[in-house]
């Protein structure tokens, strides 16, 4: 594997290997402190990011490497009209690996054809965000001890949420997975995702608008934001928005072993009062993002 552009670039064996490596990094951080000494990572972020950019930088620094790059397009020659191809070809002369976020779908694929060094897609528009999916998988493995035989509830914006689509794509490769899709009618999972992934693989799923009804069945609850701007009228939004705010009262319907996840940033879809519940794992996800990216950087640089 020379680049990571989509979660589909990885076999399940490679995903399991990355997760195992990340768990070893968590257990033995000191062992990895100089694994990337003298290596350089460029973070080319053509649109804003907090968690993803900083976790890549923290990952490389914790491996003993160095980081350079920019955090918005205006801070680069893209502001002068330079193409993505020329930018990465230039940056590839200075670094060993590039993590890139771009608002245009397919931009990291173009970059991978010109950079001369490994490219990691750190998000391209509404298309792919494979390292977020790896973060989610590591979190599930750490919390549950497995990636098989569980019921996953996906709640909120299932129509436009790239993290939801990628997680379905990844988890559908593992045995015994069932999905409960919790959303308003306006934000249901697109038919093409259901047909091309769930139906094609014979994966069990159900759709509901009722979060409380679904709660007792879930091993994982993956929350996303219900986006006001996706509704055609304000009345529908007002009628539905509170259905998908996770509160301590709604948590009483969940199993003691439930794990609550969220790709962040959140707005108001999880009450801050839930943060102290031991079943809340969304800030653990943030930490896990650094460890899985450390494992990925080492794999792409062929560092054993």
Active-site annotation, residues: 51-52, 80, 101, 129
* Among 39-53, 99-113, 149-163, 201-215, the range of highest mean pLDDT: 201-215
Angle at 58 between CA 144 and CA 5, to 5 degrees: 70
Burial (CB count <10 Å: 0-12, 13-18, 19+), residue 302: exposed
User: Is the pTM above the cut of 0.85?
Assistant: yes
pLDDT attached to residue 77: 52
Rounded Cα distance between 22 and 93, Å, is: 29
Share of the chain above pLDDT 90, in %: 76
DSSP state of 186: G
What pLDDT is attached to residue 282?
A: 97
Distance CA 275, CA 84 (A): 40
pLDDT digits (tens, 9 = 90+) for 223-256: 998 767 666 778 877 877 777 899 999 999 999 9
User: Could you report the per-residue pLDDT of 47-85, keeping only the tens digit for each?
Assistant: 878 889 999 999 999 999 999 998 755 555 555 467 889
* Predicted local confidence at residue 164, as pLDDT: 92
Neighbours of 186 (CB within 10 A): 16
The rounded mean pLDDT for the chain is 91
What is the mean pLDDT of the segment spanning 260-280? 94
């Amino acid at each position: 594997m020379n680049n990571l552009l989509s979660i589909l670039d990885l076999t399940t064996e490679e995903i399991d290997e990355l997760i195992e490596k990340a768990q070893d990094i968590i257990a033995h951080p000191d062992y990895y402190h100089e694994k990337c000494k003298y290596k350089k990572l460029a973070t080319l972020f053509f649109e804003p990011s907090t968690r993803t950019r900083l976790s890549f930088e923290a990952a490389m620094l914790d491996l003993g490497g160095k980081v350079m790059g920019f955090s918005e397009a205006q801070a680069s020659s893209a502001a002068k009209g330079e193409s993505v191809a020329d930018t990465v070809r230039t940056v590839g002369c200075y670094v060993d690996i590039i993590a890139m976020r771009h608002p245009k779908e397919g931009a990291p694929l173009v970059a991978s054809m010109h950079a001369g060094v490994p490219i990691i897609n750190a998000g391209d528009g509404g298309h792919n965000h494979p390292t977020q999916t790896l973060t989610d998988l590591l979190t599930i493995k750490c919390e549950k001890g497995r990636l098989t035989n569980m019921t996953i509830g996906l709640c909120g914006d299932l129509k436009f949420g790239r993290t939801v689509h990628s997680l379905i794509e990844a988890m559908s490769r593992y045995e015994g997975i069932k999905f409960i899709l919790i959303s308003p009618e306006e934000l249901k999972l697109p038919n093409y995702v259901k047909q091309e992934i769930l139906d094609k693989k014979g994966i069990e799923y159900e759709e509901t608008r009722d979060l409380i009804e679904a709660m007792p069945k879930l091993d994982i609850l993956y929350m996303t934001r219900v986006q006001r701007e996706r509704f055609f009228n304000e009345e529908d939004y007002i009628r539905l928005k509170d259905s998908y705010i996770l509160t301590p009262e709604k948590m009483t319907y969940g199993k003691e072993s439930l794990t609550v996840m969220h790709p962040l940033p959140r707005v108001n879809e999880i009450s801050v009062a839930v943060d102290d519940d031991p079943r809340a794992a969304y800030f653990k996800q943030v930490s896990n993002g650094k460890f899985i990216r450390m494992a990925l950087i080492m794999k792409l640089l062929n560092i054993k």
